[in-house]
Structure 1
């Protein structure tokens, strides 16, 4: 077994900024009326879908809530541009791309996140789905014109015609009073279908096809519409336009010793004290265990409610505003909401380094309306002391047994995870014979399983599709479940590309064979030895027929392909509040799941 270990690209400071403290605020919701530039190809619809076999085409139904770009020869596609301009933002949206189609989302009209049908790609490039597109220099020779693009870490794409989710934290370029650029634009975080594909990436200038040749402080959201059929919904932008708070007029007083509470300070004399202009200038002359009291002014641009977070890695923390007193110290840190006035606000901080291995300093962060979580100080240990991830090498270990946590269910203890060379992965519950998850992309993170004492849990690294909660899937014609299930293990027929799971069901041997499709688009499943009746293949209440023998399961996000003439049409059924999608079974079933 070969394990890969690496350090995450996100710096400690940025981790604190993005995850440690973040105030809630109402996002700006955009629909088709929020954009200009529509030349007729964009329309509002209530439903949209695709046939994966038909390139660059979407079908739609009347309604509202979805922006669909449906270009024709008469109504050629065009980019649409928001009427509102933005600087620092969080962007969240869903999109559905037609087979073989191409689009893009431009932050500030200048920095493109690529949207592409990259269904089966295994070696991602900047031009693939979720990539940060290249910059361009037309004066360079062919083959050298594109530069500084960023490929996504992995292909977290879903199949064309399936809704996908994009979440972006973007920091706009910064300029001084003279208009000179002082900071480049930066993608702080990009998640595709819940998978982080970019972190803390600096963009040194506008990408190819930008609205302006140079960076700007603010710009519109631009959506590409001249490259093919695509649809969008639930577009939300949260602006962060508040001025960054500052801390000034800092005093400090340090006491030698290990202090767990403030009462232990009584009668003690400080060993160092002084005043400095900022927290970063406080000296760390006392190397042993100690406690330091700080006072300072916290300056904010606008009156309002702010969230303040203080953490002393390996030590104890205390915080107070104004004339408030600090009554106790916390090992978990301090998180408080405070009403601050515009201008200077006096604060008090206590950082107790009560263990020899505690590091110097502390982490202090603030957020508020219009203010993304901002680090005011980061300790030597950074925002956290996370363990380097322990990643399972799919080539060396394509099959792994472990525990698994799934939504709305107790922890599973007998799960087999399987990888393939096409980055098509799945998880199988041995206790019930249930195919519980499929995903595309990287295989497993075994950090929870193997770090320190571990808890036995492995975590899929790609865009997980939860198919069904564990249950015996073979049911009678009245949907009554089969009894007396007992697993008999599994056998590798062609490595991890072809596995046969076996179990006893009501005294009969059942063979459950799962193979990765040669196309790399999904898996084939063939179950033999089951009784006549129905077989549950996924949770859900909706089945959308694309053509004969080809269905979309929209709630799950997969396509179902099988011999409808032999087995009959799929059906939905709900038992005890659990809705499922079933295939008629006549001693066996055989179907493909495409994802």
Structure 2
């Protein structure tokens, strides 16, 4: 009798352990359904926990993560949106959201900067208090345009889905600028220019297409190449698309 009870207890412990492992292994997946899903969270990027990130998932399953304190498009991906298990299970101590699918990392550096000249090094970051977030507004499809002030200018950064999910479009607009600004569209080991204002980045990892009439230029750096555009006027804008 004692032996049977011990065996029952052992089997119960084994079942509980198996259930616990299954629970721990199972992601908590969230997806956008009929409108975009906006998620504020911490996010690991380039080995660092980013604390002011908003990620946007879309019904077209083309998603991105954005650093609100740098004005930086961190990464993009297709497929399922986020695993939020570490945010929502128990106390969610790590507060980390994990992008799902194959993620294309871009850059944590600010999109806009003041440069002494077109050959000056691009800054790694903006000081925390030098970028003032002004929130965001939603368009009729519920996609956000991020608003902030930095480098003496008011900035709007609108990212939308093109043609049912074939690409992302980004429009950065400035107003009340006090000095010319540069926008860094891409940075990689290699960037190659093609016809129709199109550029391949990396080993054809992704493609950038800038709006017609935009004077983009490629420059060499110590680590590779960068694709830049100057916003020379007090009120100016730049639109480009990203395909991967």
> Common fold, TM-score beyond 0.5?
yes
- Three-state SS of the structure 2 residue aligned to 1:405 is strand
- Three-state SS of the structure 2 residue aligned to 1:567 is coil
Structure (1/2) with the larger helix percentage: 2
1:490 to 114, 126, 136: 136
Q: Is the 8 A contact 1:567 1:585 kept in 2?
A: no
Q: For structure 2, which runs of at least 5 residues remain unmatched after alignment?
A: none
Q: CA deviation at 1:359?
A: 2.4
Q: CA deviation at 1:400?
A: 1.1
1:534 is matched with 182
Q: CA deviation at 1:538?
A: 2.9
TM-score scaled by length of structure 1:
0.35
1:571 is matched with 218
Q: Is the 8 A contact 1:429 1:470 kept in 2?
A: no
Are 2:169 and 1:524 aligned? yes
Q: CA deviation at 1:475?
A: 3.6
1:543 is matched with 191
Q: CA deviation at 1:592?
A: 0.8
Distance in 2 between the 1:424 and 1:457 partners?
Answer: 20
Q: Is the 8 A contact 1:542 1:555 kept in 2?
A: yes
Over 3 Å counting, the alpha-carbon distance change for 1:420 and 1:394 in structure 2 is same
Q: Is the 8 A contact 1:573 1:582 kept in 2?
A: no
Over 3 Å counting, the alpha-carbon distance change for 1:525 and 1:406 in structure 2 is same
**What are the Cα deviations for residues 315-371 of structure 1, in whole angstroms up to 9, with x where unaligned?**
xxxxxxxxxxxxxxxxxxxxxxxxxxxxxxxxxxxxxx9xxx7327xxxxxxxxxxx
Distance in 1 between the 2:157 and 2:164 partners?
Answer: 21
Q: CA deviation at 1:479?
A: 4.0
Q: For the pair shown, which has the larger CA radius of gyration, 1 or 2? A: 1
Distance in 2 between the 1:583 and 1:480 partners?
Answer: 10
Aligned 1:417-428 pairs, distance under 5 A: 417-428=55-66
**What are the Cα deviations for residues 495-551 of structure 1, in whole angstroms up to 9, with x where unaligned?**
34x421111112321111112112521111111116534312233121123323111
Q: Is the 8 A contact 1:430 1:489 kept in 2?
A: no
2:8 to 287, 292, 295: 287
Q: CA deviation at 1:492?
A: 0.7
2:29 to 391, 394, 398: 391
2:50 to 402, 412, 416: 412
Over 3 Å counting, the alpha-carbon distance change for 1:507 and 1:444 in structure 2 is same
Q: CA deviation at 1:414?
A: 1.2
TM-score scaled by length of structure 2:
0.79
Q: Is the 8 A contact 2:184 2:229 kept in 1?
A: no
Aligned residues: 226
2:237 to 578, 588, 594: 588
1:436 to 63, 74, 80: 74
Q: Is the 8 A contact 2:168 2:243 kept in 1?
A: yes
